[in-house]
Structure 1
Amino acid sequence: MPPTDSMFLLAETREHPMHVGGLQLFEPPSGSGPEWTRELIETFRGADDVSRTFRRRPKQPVSLLGSTWWSEDTAIDLDYHVRHSAVPQPGRIRELLQLTSRWHGSLLDRHRPLWETHVVEGLQDGRFAVYSKIHHAMVDGVSALRLMQRSLSEDPERRDCAPPWALPSSSAPAATPGGFDPFSLLRAGAGMAGDVAGMLPASMRIVGQVLRDGDITLPRAPKTILNGPVGGARRFAAQSWEIERIKRVAKSSSTTLNDVVLAMVSGALRDYLLEQHALPDDPMTAMVPVSLALRASSAGQDDADGGNATGVIVVNLATDRESGSTRLEEIAYSSRQAKKILGDLTPTQILAFSALQMLPLAAYPVPGFVKYTHPPFNVVVSNVPGPKNQTYFNGARLDGMYPVSIVLDGQAVNITLCSRGEHLDFGIIGCRRSVPHLQRLLIHLETALAELEEAWG
């Protein structure tokens, strides 16, 4: 098991579930009856081939070896992994989000492959939902979303779509579990030799740029109520925005879509913390993941087996500025400076640089560390690319794709969004105890976007 995977198992406790998830909303095919959802579940549970990713579990779940080697189950109990649920009356989205909050706060069973899917009916508008979660040790958020997208089709008439855990019929059968191969480590080590050799000059280049420019956002942020210890219960909030609104602001302000998203988050956090009488005087910062899986994909490499490949940058959110327009300008500048540091670094070097920025997180389990130290950043904001066109699952129209991520001690809120055709779907997960009235962030996100639209026409 690669260290980038095992660290998520080692870090997991009851208060810190380390799985990523997603909530999808679907509109059933036109003319379908109440039996359609039951037939969907039968399709999910009837998958014959289950991919290697969805067969994995820790080899020794209750020992340290469980965070060192993967085992692959040959028989999968799909009746356990695929669950049939319904929202209580009156069947609003509010009740669906309450269920999602509860499911996302519970741990996955390490004696089984580390994933679950809940098919949910009973929504008053006739739609149904699918909530899935999979351990971060198995896949990162980008890989999880790509697995789901492979099960969807742009053809509304197609009826042979397979669930994400099922292999396409043309794929080779899953490989049988093998023993520990020391030669694989030697081969991997040889491949990394060039990257390691280049780390010293790369580090010198980064230090030189920081000293020369003097305005790089470093991993040290002001303390806020979002940066204390967390409990095990979660609260989830979700909403969609039209991408075109955000693109218009980006074009008018000569910034990027991601810059505008960060400005929305900045304005929302500022207004939320003002309501709580807890806005810090110094500007807050965000850690923004950069997916290396997408780089690998563009280079022709496959990530079908999952895993984790993510770098990070730290961006100044300028929450000390009253004007939304000024916040956007400072965010765009900070983001450009952070990306300049990555420059021509290899993926391995980016991972090493990112690990240094997140190093303080490793000390969070130490008693008192979170309470008496400054966080490296205040919030995680991740933008994951989704389907560009309207998609369907066996004729059911995808009507929402909301990511559900991870919160930690010192990082009580995580904001992840996913593009879906003409929309951006925001998923906000937070500690139920540390972050009161989390859902109000949705209102403040809309207020922040409206302010930017007024400033930039």
Structure 2
Amino acid sequence: MELIAPTDAIFLLTESREHPTHVGGLQLFERPDGSGPGFVRETHEALTKMRSFHPTFRKRPAQILGAISNLGWIYDDEIEIDIEYHVRRWVLPSPGRLRDLFELTSVLHSSPLDRHRPLWEAHLIEGLKDGRFAMYTKIHHALIDGVSMRHLSERMMSTDPQDVELRAFWNLPSLPQSPRRSRWRAFTEIVKASATLGPSASSVARAALRQQQLTLPFAAPRTMFNVRIGGARRYAAQSYSLERVKRIKQAAQVTLNDVVLAMCGGALRYYLAEQNALPDTPLVAMVPVSLREKGEVTGAGNKVINVLCTLATDIDDAAKRLATISESVSRNRDVFAELPRQHAVALSLLTAPWAVAALPGFVSSAPPPFNIVISNVPGSIEPMYWGGAKLHSAYPLSIPLDGLALNITVSNTRELDFGLVACRRSVPRLERLLEHLEISLTDLERAVGVVSPDPFQQRKFAIT
């Protein structure tokens, strides 16, 4: 048996039927030229014959003394893994709309993974009226995080359209690992850093007084998103032109992530107003932000923290909203950048969604520390192919929690692929947010003087 690292055990300990803690991805592919109608069935059959499993995809939580769980991993070495259970094939009902695909994905993403089996599933989905097919994958967060999942998916694929070799994420070889700290040692260092947070917390407090616009937790308004949630999920996704966003970025002299946040702020303003639920004070987002300097090697350790920023939903003017968001992100980032890295990470963990959602009665009795999590995950900008099929889009799926009924995650590749996951009961008509994202993007273009030739033609997909 292998002990589970505390940072991984959190995702097992906090999971329930209403709060599944797996991450997911929905990839859309174009069939290879000349492939027949049985291409997806043949792909599924080939995948189920791949019965060599990387250790990560053989382990499941162990039962200690028949009662204690979530402390250790056990590996399915002695029994054959039921590959037909883990890898399944679906056919959408006619007429095969994207709405049908997202509805199936919503159902699949709602159910927890079986703790008596390795904690992953892959679902091949065909039947879209335009001939494309999809693969929905879900993996428990105790095994892997969203960024690592994205890298794993890209390792399955090739940049060569002539490469027809079919690869599966569960049997990819391990990458060479450079010497690094163990997960337990890294966790211990964070705990030690937490014990010496006094000076760092004082620095943040002083910065909050000096810089009036620094966003602090528990100053967010209560909204329809900050409620206890049920187990059913609703999923919606859409792609937007990266070039349109880059033109706004250049015209306004802000970052690409600032524009993404402004798109979300404008869309949430429209959506909440439509629901007669727009608060007078601005919504606050929790945003994973890199502390790396320009040109720093991306593999040089973990330098990502959770930063709060305003979404300026109280501002009607799109240009002013963008400027306010950009300043908020910059000021928060600068304050944390001045701290030792371990202190910055430890401080950001104090407002982690898992810690907030796990406290009994916290959601109903305390003001929300923030209103929504918005993540921007970078990916490959090159065209990618899987078994000869071209990757069209890669939509992420994250985890709603008590107090955070809506999650927005963006995959930043050749396009901006938005994936929205929400509590089905708490967030009605989720697809309206996709329309408001488009309107918000158009508002930003007009506000900074960038003219799009035909904005509504820039969208890859419409919900029809």
Distance 1:190 1:382, change over 3 A: closer
1:82 aligns with 2:87: yes
Q: Which position in structure 2 is the counterpart of 1:353?
A: 347
Which of the numbers 206, 228, 240 marks the counterpart of 1:208? 206
What is the alpha-carbon distance in structure 1 between the residues aligned to residue 228 and residue 195 of structure 2? 39
Q: Per-residue displacement from partner, 1:181-205 (whole Å, max 9, x unpaired)?
A: xx97986688669856874543343
1:49 aligns with 2:47: no
Q: Which position in structure 2 is the counterpart of 1:437?
A: 429
Quote how far apart the aligned CAs of 1:296 are.
11
Q: Which position in structure 1 is the counterpart of 2:356?
A: 362
Q: Look up the equivalent residue of 1:250 and give its one-letter code.
A: K
Q: Which position in structure 2 is the counterpart of 1:281?
A: 280
Q: Look up the equivalent residue of 1:31 and give its one-letter code.
A: G
Q: Per-residue displacement from partner, 1:55-99 (whole Å, max 9, x unpaired)?
A: 221112997742221222224221111001111111110100000
- Aligned to 1:320, the other structure's residue is in SS state coil
Q: Look up the equivalent residue of 1:13 and give its one-letter code.
A: S
Q: Which runs of structure 1 show a deviation greater than 6 angstroms over 4 or more consecutive aligned residues?
A: 61-64, 183-186, 189-194, 291-297
1:123 aligns with 2:122: no
Q: Which position in structure 2 is the counterpart of 1:148?
A: 153
- Aligned to 2:343, the other structure's residue is in SS state helix
Q: Which position in structure 2 is the counterpart of 1:391?
A: 384
- Aligned to 1:227, the other structure's residue is in SS state coil
Q: Look up the equivalent residue of 1:274 and give its one-letter code.
A: A
What is the alpha-carbon distance in structure 1 between the residues aligned to residue 300 and residue 166 of structure 2? 25
Distance 1:406 1:63, change over 3 A: farther
Q: Which position in structure 1 is the counterpart of 2:62?
A: 59
Quote how far apart the aligned CAs of 1:35 are.
1.9
Within 5 Å, which residues of 2 pair with 1:99-138?
Answer: 99-138=104-143
Distance 1:235 1:248, change over 3 A: same
Q: Which position in structure 2 is the counterpart of 1:18?
A: 21
Quote how far apart the aligned CAs of 1:143 are.
0.8
Q: Which position in structure 1 is the counterpart of 2:443?
A: 451
Quote how far apart the aligned CAs of 1:357 are.
2.3
TM-score by length of 1: 0.89
Q: Look up the equivalent residue of 2:433 and give its one-letter code.
A: L
Q: Which position in structure 1 is the counterpart of 2:222?
A: 223
Q: Look up the equivalent residue of 2:377 and give its one-letter code.
A: V
- Aligned to 2:276, the other structure's residue is in SS state coil
Within 5 Å, which residues of 2 pair with 1:410-429?
Answer: 410-421=403-414, 423-429=415-421
Q: Look up the equivalent residue of 1:70 and give its one-letter code.
A: W
What is the alpha-carbon distance in structure 1 between the residues aligned to residue 46 and residue 340 of structure 2? 42
Q: Look up the equivalent residue of 2:100 and give its one-letter code.
A: E
- Aligned to 1:429, the other structure's residue is in SS state strand
The answer (yes or no) to whether the contact 2:353–2:401 under 8 Å persists in 1 is no
What is the alpha-carbon distance in structure 2 between the residues aligned to residue 373 and residue 189 of structure 1? 28
Q: Which position in structure 2 is the counterpart of 1:159?
A: 164
Distance 1:245 1:128, change over 3 A: same
TM-score by length of 2: 0.88
What is the alpha-carbon distance in structure 2 between the residues aligned to residue 186 and residue 8 of structure 1? 16
- Aligned to 1:351, the other structure's residue is in SS state helix
- Aligned to 1:25, the other structure's residue is in SS state strand
The answer (yes or no) to whether the contact 1:85–1:120 under 8 Å persists in 2 is yes
Q: Which position in structure 2 is the counterpart of 1:405?
A: 398
Distance 1:104 1:7, change over 3 A: same
The answer (yes or no) to whether the contact 1:57–1:114 under 8 Å persists in 2 is yes
The answer (yes or no) to whether the contact 1:101–1:236 under 8 Å persists in 2 is yes
Quote how far apart the aligned CAs of 1:211 are.
2.7
The answer (yes or no) to whether the contact 2:215–2:309 under 8 Å persists in 1 is yes
The answer (yes or no) to whether the contact 2:193–2:346 under 8 Å persists in 1 is no
What is the alpha-carbon distance in structure 1 between the residues aligned to residue 444 and residue 12 of structure 2? 41
Q: Which position in structure 2 is the counterpart of 1:251?
A: 250
Q: Look up the equivalent residue of 1:138 and give its one-letter code.
A: L
Q: Look up the equivalent residue of 1:405 and give its one-letter code.
A: S
The answer (yes or no) to whether the contact 1:19–1:133 under 8 Å persists in 2 is yes
Q: Which position in structure 2 is the counterpart of 1:265?
A: 264
The percentage of aligned residue pairs carrying the same residue is: 47
Distance 1:110 1:202, change over 3 A: same
Q: Per-residue displacement from partner, 1:252-303 (whole Å, max 9, x unpaired)?
A: 00111100000000000000010110000011010112469999982356x9
The answer (yes or no) to whether the contact 2:97–2:129 under 8 Å persists in 1 is yes
Q: Which position in structure 2 is the counterpart of 1:177?
A: none
Q: Which position in structure 2 is the counterpart of 1:299?
A: 299
- Aligned to 2:169, the other structure's residue is in SS state coil
Q: Which position in structure 1 is the counterpart of 2:10?
A: 7
Q: Look up the equivalent residue of 2:109 and give its one-letter code.
A: H
The answer (yes or no) to whether the contact 2:20–2:399 under 8 Å persists in 1 is yes
For structure 2, the residue ranges without an aligned partner over 5 or more in a row are 451-464
- Aligned to 1:228, the other structure's residue is in SS state coil
Number of residues of Structure 1 aligned to a counterpart in Structure 2: 438
- Aligned to 1:66, the other structure's residue is in SS state coil
Q: Provide the alpha-carbon RMSD of the alignment.
A: 2.8
Which of the numbers 326, 330, 335 marks the counterpart of 1:332? 326
What is the alpha-carbon distance in structure 1 between the residues aligned to residue 389 and residue 145 of structure 2? 26
Distance 1:52 1:199, change over 3 A: farther
The answer (yes or no) to whether the contact 2:236–2:430 under 8 Å persists in 1 is yes
Q: Look up the equivalent residue of 1:226 and give its one-letter code.
A: F
The answer (yes or no) to whether the contact 1:98–1:236 under 8 Å persists in 2 is yes
Quote how far apart the aligned CAs of 1:133 are.
0.4
Q: Which position in structure 2 is the counterpart of 1:175?
A: none
1:28 aligns with 2:31: yes
Q: Look up the equivalent residue of 1:356 and give its one-letter code.
A: L
What is the alpha-carbon distance in structure 1 between the residues aligned to residue 360 and residue 240 of structure 2? 40
Distance 1:277 1:80, change over 3 A: same
What is the alpha-carbon distance in structure 2 between the residues aligned to residue 293 and residue 34 of structure 1? 48
What is the alpha-carbon distance in structure 2 between the residues aligned to residue 64 and residue 7 of structure 1? 18
Q: Per-residue displacement from partner, 1:406-453 (whole Å, max 9, x unpaired)?
A: 1011100000010222x0100001011101111100000000000000
For structure 1, the residue ranges without an aligned partner over 5 or more in a row are 173-182, 304-308
